[in-house]
Structure 1
Amino acid sequence: MKAKDTASATKSLLQLDQQLCFALYSAGLAMNKVYRTLLSRLRLTYPQYLVMLILWERDDLTVSDIGGRLFLDSATLTPLLKRLEAAGLLDRVRSAEDERQVIISLTSEGRALKKQAGSVPNAVFCATGCELDEMVALKKQLTGLREKLASNS
């Protein structure tokens, strides 16, 4: 490749619209905007919604269990959990077996919120304008990408 061709290729690679990271970032912003609208009636932020999804799957988890699922450390997760506790959606209790662990449990209000949140996934799906097979394939690709990036970082 000639020097002129190399410089042109490098310039092209350094354009914002050529960046995979920007495509992921801007898609994430757009997705969060959709969720912000849908979750406002539940009085949840998107990160709080993710915590609630985990607890609706399985209650009585440690902070580290939740953090592992969300790829968040306890320093990031703890303030979020405290806000959910203040809202009456969950309880945080030290483990009797190991006081270093905090067990997170849904309150009756937190369990009841699951029914109200039931329409969120379908509304998000509709907002994408994608077909079901497109969404399944995209999720599989993104999960694979996350795993590859995690193993290489």
Structure 2
Amino acid sequence: MAFTLTVNGATHSIDTDEDTPLLYVLRDELGLNGAKYGCGVGQCGACTVLSDGAPLRSCFVPAASLSGRAITTLEGLRAPDGTPHPLQRAFLAEQAGQCAYCIPGMILAAEALLREKPAPTEAEIRTALDANLCRCGSHNRIVRAIQRAAAERQR
């Protein structure tokens, strides 16, 4: 099945089976490896991307169903000159990624939160990330990183 996807501001012509998950198209067809395969059933958050600004688990959503929507991956958060996004800088500063497998999903979930609530409370951050799992136990550093990024955006 042929369709188009808009990913990180660029339009791509895709020709794949209509049931192919977005994650596979991103990684295998477009070479975007930020989103990770974790559980395959949308429960861990490693595959999180943004669809029209809202978090979306890309591992089980058919890519063809997203034609016409704006998809943002971790790679799409960087500025055109390659400058890291404020969330990326904050995650580095807080050493929030021990193994870093969950971090792309965490950053994209945090970006969706900060777009909706520029100055979230700690409880709001924890609630927004509740469905994103970190097996390393870096949650406290992840929360601090999001607080840091929110503060930076307020300046």
TM-score (norm 2): 0.32
User: Which of structures 1 and 2 has the larger relative contact order (alpha carbons within 8 angstroms, sep 6+)?
Assistant: 2
TM-score (norm 1): 0.32
Pair member with larger Rg: 1
Q: Which structure's residues are more often strand, by fraction? A: 2
Q: Which structure's residues are more often helix, by fraction? A: 1
